[in-house]
Amino acid sequence: MTIAQFSVLNHLFRVRDGQTPLAMASAFQVPKTTMTHSLAGLEKRGLVVMKPNLDDGRSKCVWLTDAGRIFRDKAIADLAQDMMRLAPKLNLNEVIETMPVLARVRSVLDEDRN
């Protein structure tokens, strides 16, 4: 699993699945061919499935499979051990205070990309 592939899984989970590869390429600011390559690897592993786009019969939409959701959830859970190791080195209140700022930065970047 590459970081690009995991990022795609996480995006489908966090934002929403059922997007076209072109919309996802735009969201990731990569060429459509790059996104298609990442999606092909995920589809081969059974983590996503491509279905016809009901709004436009010429394209497809990407959906997470149950296996994709389970894989993503397990990967996030596996990070818990690393986070527990780092937690004593971080001030929890400072981390909590930065979260709204980081969320706003992500929102502005998402809006600007569209």
Write out pLDDT tens, residues 31-44.
Answer: 999 999 999 999 99
Q: Which residue type is seen at 60?
A: K
Give the integer Cα–Cα distance in Å for 1 and 110: 25
pTM greater than 0.95: no
CATH fold for the domain made of 3-78: Arc Repressor Mutant, subunit A (1.10.10)
Handedness of CA 46, 47, 53, 57 (dihedral sign): negative
Mark 36-66 as b/e (b = at least 16 C-beta within 10 Å). Answer: eebbeebeeeebbbbeebeeeeeebbbebbe
- Per-domain boundaries in the chain: 3-78
* pLDDT beyond 90 at 114: no
Write out pLDDT tens, residues 46-62.
Answer: 999 999 998 887 889 99
